Each structure stands twice: as structure tokens, then as C-alpha cells.
Chain A
Amino acid sequence: MAIWLIPFLPLLSATLLMVSTGRMPRSLTAVLGAGSVGLAALLVALLAQGFLADGQVREVTLWTWMAVDNFTPRVAFYVDGLTIVMMSVITGVGFLIHLYSIEFMWDDESLCRYFAYMNLFVAAMLLLVMADNLLLLYLGWEGVGVCSYLLVGFWYRDADNGKAARKAFVVTRVGDTAMALGLFLLFTELGTLDIQPLMVAANANWQVGDTLPIVATALLLGGAVGKSAQLPLHTWLPDAMAGPTPVSALIHAATMVTAGVYLIARNYQLFLLAPPTMQAVAWIGVATLLLAAFTALAQHDIKRILAYSTISQIGYMFLALGVGAFASGIFHLMTHAFFKALLFLAAGAVIHCLHHEHNIFRMGGLRTRLPVVFWSFLIGSAALAALPFTSGFYSKDAILLSAWEQPDIGPWLWAGGLLGALLTSIYSFRLVFIVFFGEAQTEPDRQPGWRMAGPLLLLCLLSLIGGWFALPLSGVFPENGHAQVNHSVEIISIATPLLGLLLAYLLFLGRQLSIDKLLASPTGQALKSFCLSGWRIDNLYNALWVRPYTNLAHWWRNEPIDQLYNAVVAASQWSHRTLLGLQTGELRWYATSMVFGLVLLLAIMLRNAT
């Protein structure tokens, strides 16, 4: 089967849409945009079926990209279990989101541009996960970055959206630079960027704990942190919500932001050689998931809450990777893609039906008015909070168990994760209770059509049963079976989300505990604004980097170097004006001056002669 068709179809569609520049009929645009991804999804399903049947890793070399000395990266695809999982998520969830987008974006004048970007994104993301070597992966990596930039700034007529897009692009670029350096280092040290030979070479040349693998993985981690919006490069993701909601669902929840997780999982053998980096990954994950969860508690923009929750959930994935539970991390990646896409699409439906209302305090009572959306959101939130028997439960549980089993630092990581789970539960149900219960603030002016409801229902199903999927990852990652299942740990991690649900109920629905009184106190006020601003990290970065940079730019804008040249110009102009006085245009004056010069010259000659 032609594997190359899978990324090629969305790419072709994107090209056609771009070339048409919106002159295509809207219906054809929609069919092309969603259909290409749907077809790709179909091909992936066939591929997955074949893979599950024979378990063979598929390698396809299309052509040699370039040949410089002994550096010959190929355009080649490597499809194993991990790739299959990623491709399934990208094309499957991607197709549902595309379908949903048709309705969501139907009234937008730039429908064609939207689908062109989205298809391009899917193509780039597929390239990222299917790449056989790190250079091709990097191409896809940057490709999705560009698409993210384009889609965040999709409604570019609003300057704030452009600013958000720029921020997303620049902040991830910081990580990407580190990653590029990591690639350089790997190539100079090991002489190849093909992933499989690279792993072999790394294991052959390096010992566990050597400096070089630590540096290389730290640099790769920089890239992963930037792309996956982890501490300290997470600030771009909440602002990236400026894009259309399906974009947030696809790029900033389900696929692109998990590219960092994929990168680490793909190069896990390299990371296993660097225990300090692994620990750093785990701690970054815990710190991020806690910070983002706390921040999500205080937000009042529905999409920002979901953005922070995404950051938090990717923190879980990092935690899983950090403790060596790669399969659990990828498992959570998949389930998260399901329920977070569901949540985003449901939120999008709410926004769509409520005249682009983002503030959750101006919603409320939507349970009876938008029942489909309510149930979708409820199921998504349940999976996000990891209530028992939802997909999120299985994946998060596996992560927490793996964290617990980690020697030395394990309990701390576990405790952090558990606290995060509690917070997750509280903020997700806070969202549900405020938006769908209570009194209605705004009346919806329409109901979601079948193109919206269909994907929602399908994602509901996936969010519920996603936990029972057996991922074909056994051939990819080393087995670390749970030797002894610690029942008390299990029970605690089951109970925590329920506790969170109860707390959320008491605080936000039952009103048994007054949250308002707590917030009214000065400490509460300060805490709230602290959380609302995302722990003032944006302010910190503004003070540390952005403002010095803009000040510098402003300073340069006055062009201090040019002042020098301006001075030269001014001097020559001044002398010009002065000498202009000599240029009287009178012939006699010229003659007299010539005579004056003649007299002078003769005088000098006479003086020298005598």
C-alpha cells in the first residue's frame, strides 16, 4: 500500500485550495478540505489493520533529499506502532475536526484559506510523525509551527490575534533553536540523523550518564518543551486560543502540542542514556501540570481554561516519559487527544451558538438548551478529570502508578500528579457547573447541526471507550509491567477525582461553601489575580526579555549609527550652503578670484625662489 499517499493527500488538497485562492465553490472547498483528511484517515485505518495483522515495521524511502559528503538525509517514512498510533490520532481526530469545521467556519469569508492551512497542518504533522530521520522530522516540526502561526492569526484583522500568533511562533522558536542545536550535536557526534541507526550508534558509543547524551537530550528537550508548551515556554498556548476553536482542538490540544511528547518517545533510547534529563522531564511535567491546573482554576475564558488544562495534561505526559513509562505517556496522549478535542469542539459549539461569547460567567443554564453539547462536555470533563471507567482514568492511572514506582523521587512525583488530578477535577467541573447549570445568562440563537453534533458524539464514544484500546506499542518501548499493583495507591487515585468533583459541586453548584467570601478577602483577591495572570509569568518574561528587546529595538529605531552618517550629511550640506555664497554667477567675480589665486601662487613661488 502506498504509505506516501497518507501525507500527500492533505498536501495536495492544501495546494489545490491555495491555488484556487477562494474562487472554488464553498461546498467543493469543504469537501476537498475534509475529504482529503478523511481519505487519509481511511488509508491509515487500512495501514493500521495491516500492521495489527502482521506487526511488521514498514519503511518507505521516497528519494534522497540531499547528498552532502556523508550527510545524506532521505525523504523516507518509518511506520511502527508508535507512528500508527500518532497517525490514527492525527487523521482520525483530524477528520472529525475538519468535519466539524465545515459548519463552524461556514459563514467565514476565508473558508478556503482555513481549509488550506488545516490540510497543510495535517500534512506537516503526518510528516513529523512518519519521518524516518530527525531532519525530516524537523521539517514537519517547523511546518506545523508555521501552520500554527497562520491559524492562530487566522482572523488577522484584529491586531491582538496577530500578536498572539507572533508570540506562539517566537516562543516555540526558542525551543526549536535548542532542538536544532541538538540535531547538530547528534550529527557531529554520531554521524547520522536516521533515527534507528542513531539509536544504535548512541547505545554503542555512549554510556549511561555520559555528558554528551545529557547535553543532546537536554537540547532536544528544549524543543519538546517549546512545542508542547511546558514550563518555562508554556506562555504561548493560552494566547494561541485567539485562533478559531477547531484549530485549538486540532493543533493546540490533540496533535501539535503533543509533538514534544512524540519526540521524546521516539528518541527514548537516547533519553534512557541520560538519567538527569529524564528526571528533568519528570519534574518539568509535574511543575507544569500543577502550575497550569492552578491557573486554570481562576480563568474565566472558556478556551483559556481548556488551554491551561491542555498544558496540564501534557505535563502528565511528560511525567510519564520522565519516569520511563513511555507507553503510558503515548496512551495518555491518545486519550487526551480524544477528550480534549471533544472538550474544545463542545466549547466551540457553545461559543458558536452564543454569538462568540467566551466568558463562562455570561453563560450558564445551557444544560437544557444545548443538550448534545452538554452531554459531550460532561463526558469530556469526566474523562479529563479521570473519573473511573472513562478513557482518561485508565491513562492517568497508569501514569500515576508508574510515577509511584519510581525509586526515591517517585512518591513526590506521584503526590504532585495526584494534587494535579484533584485540581483538574475541580476546574473541569467548575467549568461544567458554571456553563451548563445555574441561571441562563445568554440565550443560544441556534443549535449545532449534524456536522457539529456528529463529531461530538463520535468523540464522546472515543473518550468513553478509548481506555480499552490496546496500543500496538509493545514492539516499540521496553516492557515495564506493573509487578505488584499497589491497591492503596490505586484506591487513592480513583478517589481523588471524585473528591474533586465533590469539592467543585460544593463550591460552584451547591454553594454550600462560599467561594465568593474567600475571594472577597484581600488574600483571595491577590491569589485570584495571581492565578488569573498565569502566575505572572508573562509579566516576568515581558520584563526580562520582551521589554528590553523592544526598548533596544526602539533605540535602534532612532538609528544611532545613522546619526553618524547624518552628521556627515549635515556637515557636507552646511559646507555646501557656505560655499554656495562663492557661487555668485558673476563672471568678473570669478576672474577676480582667479587673479587672486594667481597672485598668491606667484607670491609663494617668489618666496621659494629667493
Chain B
Amino acid sequence: MMESLFYIAALVAVMSTVAALTRANAIHALIYLIVSLLAVAVLFFLMGAPFAAALEIVIYAGAIMVLFVFVIMMLNLGESGVAREQEWLTPRNWVVPGVMAALLLLELILALRHAPALTSGISVDPKAVGLTLFGPYILAVEISSMLLLAGLVGAYHLGRRFIVRREKR
């Protein structure tokens, strides 16, 4: 029963991802992507990682995707954007990347063939995660904080110049 839950979620994840990446309309694609992320969150939960599942929903599906929504709304692509995207999705453009991706997938499957281990089914609670995070991984936390700061400064910088240029005009 629980196993079938996993496979259903996995199927949802793959299908919604494929759908997300083939949409012409950015907002539609975004909704599919959110579905995909939610499916992955379910998978996390099933694999005994509730904290990761919660974060997946809150940060990934929530915060990050909202950013996308904001940007898409700012750009205001409209109907012409959709038409153009459809034009860009002709089969001719599919061939080389498709073959590449298929090859990569094939190779990964080949590489996985000799690994029949099971997931342990042991739930790792948020407390353990927190202890590990601020224990051995404290340096990584500091580094990621720097990374976030860099991202913040970068985003601010890019956005600020955008505004200044506009004012000049």
C-alpha cells in the first residue's frame, strides 16, 4: 500500500515535470512545476524525512516559485510570448538535446543496475537534522549563509541598476 503511494507520487512527479518543461505558457509551466515539487515533498515524507518535506513545500514550492511568479508578472509576456514559445518548441529543436538527455539517462540506469539496496525506512526527525546541521556541518551553514548574502547583494545590485537606468530615461 505504502509502496504504491511511492510509485504514484513518483509518476506524478515525472509527469508534471515533463508537462512543466513542455508548456508554452510560463504560468502554466509554473503550476506544473509546483505540482512536481509537491510530489517530491510527498516522496520525502514517505522516505522518513518529514523536515525535508516541509521545507520542500515551504521554501521550494512556496518562496522560490513565488519569485518566479513575480518575475513573470513583471515581464508581462502575454499572448504573443506564448505564441513565440510554441514556435520555438518545434520537433527540429528537440532532436539533439533529446538524444543527449536519453543517453545520459541510459547511462545513469546502467550505473544503477548493481545497487539493489533498500532505503532503511528509519525516520530522521528534525531534531537530529538540526543537531547534525549545527554540529559537524556548522562550517557549511556559514558558507551557505555567505552564499545567500551574495545572492541577496547580487539580486539587489541587478535590480537597482535596472531602476537607475529607467530613471535616466
Which of A592, A603, A606, A609 is within 8 Å of B100, CB to CB?
A: A592
Which of A592, A598, A602, A606 is within 8 Å of B97, CB to CB?
A: A592
Interface membership of A595, Cβ < 8 A: yes
Interface membership of B164, Cβ < 8 A: no
Contact present for A598 and B104 (CB under 8 Å): yes
In whole angstroms, what is the CA distance A606 to B110 when docked?
8
Count, chain B residues at interface, CB 8 A = 10
Interface membership of B128, Cβ < 8 A: no
Interface membership of A515, Cβ < 8 A: no
In whole angstroms, what is the CA distance A592 to B104 when docked?
12
Which of A595, A602, A606 is within 8 Å of B101, CB to CB?
A: A595
Contact present for B104 and A599 (CB under 8 Å): yes
Interface of A is mostly: helix
Which residues on A sit within 8 Å (CB–CB) of B111?
602, 606, 609
Closest to B110 in A: A606
Interface membership of B158, Cβ < 8 A: no
Which residues on A sit within 8 Å (CB–CB) of B75?
none
Q: How far is the CB of B158 from the nearest CB of chain A, in Å?
A: 17
Q: How far is the CB of A588 from the nearest CB of chain B, in Å?
A: 8
Which residues on A sit within 8 Å (CB–CB) of B108?
602
Interface membership of A556, Cβ < 8 A: no
Q: How far is the CB of A263 from the nearest CB of chain B, in Å?
A: 83
Contact present for A603 and B107 (CB under 8 Å): yes
Which residues on B sit within 8 Å (CB–CB) of A598?
104
Q: How far is the CB of A328 from the nearest CB of chain B, in Å?
A: 99
Closest to A603 in B: B107
* Interface set, chain A 561-593, CB cutoff 8 A to B: 592
In whole angstroms, what is the CA distance A602 to B97 when docked?
17
Closest to A602 in B: B107
Interface membership of A596, Cβ < 8 A: yes
In whole angstroms, what is the CA distance A211 to B53 when docked?
106
Mark each residue of chain B from 86 to 108: 1 if its CB lies under 8 Å from any CB of chain A, else 0: 00000000001100110110011
| Interface residue range, chain A | under 10
Which residues on B sit within 8 Å (CB–CB) of A609?
111
Q: How far is the CB of A609 from the nearest CB of chain B, in Å?
A: 8
Q: How far is the CB of B122 from the nearest CB of chain A, in Å?
A: 30
Which residues on B sit within 8 Å (CB–CB) of A603?
107
Closest to B111 in A: A606
Which residues on B sit within 8 Å (CB–CB) of A596?
100
Which residues on B sit within 8 Å (CB–CB) of A602?
104, 107-108, 111
Which residues on A sit within 8 Å (CB–CB) of B101?
595
Which residues on A sit within 8 Å (CB–CB) of B104?
595, 598-599, 602
Contact present for B103 and A592 (CB under 8 Å): no
Closest to A598 in B: B104
In whole angstroms, what is the CA distance A609 to B110 when docked?
11
* Interface set, chain B 59-111, CB cutoff 8 A to A: 96-97, 100-101, 103-104, 107-108, 110-111
Contact present for A592 and B96 (CB under 8 Å): yes
Contact present for A599 and B110 (CB under 8 Å): no
Contact present for A599 and B97 (CB under 8 Å): no
In whole angstroms, what is the CA distance A609 to B113 when docked?
12
In whole angstroms, what is the CA distance A602 to B104 when docked?
8
Mark each residue of chain B from 103 to 127: 1 if its CB lies under 8 Å from any CB of chain A, else 0: 1100110110000000000000000
Which residues on B sit within 8 Å (CB–CB) of A599?
100, 103-104, 107
Q: How far is the CB of B90 from the nearest CB of chain A, in Å?
A: 15
In whole angstroms, what is the CA distance A595 to B108 when docked?
13
Closest to B93 in A: A588
| Residue among A598, A602, A609 facing the most chain B CB atoms (10 A cut-off) | A602
In whole angstroms, what is the CA distance A609 to B101 when docked?
22
In whole angstroms, what is the CA distance A200 to B110 when docked?
100
Closest to A593 in B: B100
In whole angstroms, what is the CA distance A186 to B162 when docked?
86
Q: How far is the CB of A377 from the nearest CB of chain B, in Å?
A: 92
In the complex, given contacts A598-B104, A599-B107, what are 12 additional A-B residue pairs having Cβ atoms less than 8 angstroms apart?
A: A592-B97, A595-B97, A595-B100, A595-B101, A596-B100, A599-B103, A602-B104, A602-B107, A602-B108, A602-B111, A603-B107, A606-B110
7 smallest CB-CB distances across A and B, nearest first, come from: A602-B107, A595-B100, A599-B103, A599-B104, A606-B110, A606-B107, A592-B97
9 A-B pairs with C-beta separation under 8 A: A592-B97, A595-B101, A599-B103, A599-B107, A602-B107, A602-B111, A603-B107, A606-B107, A609-B111
A residues lining the B interface (CB < 8 Å): 592, 595-596, 598-599, 602-603, 606, 609
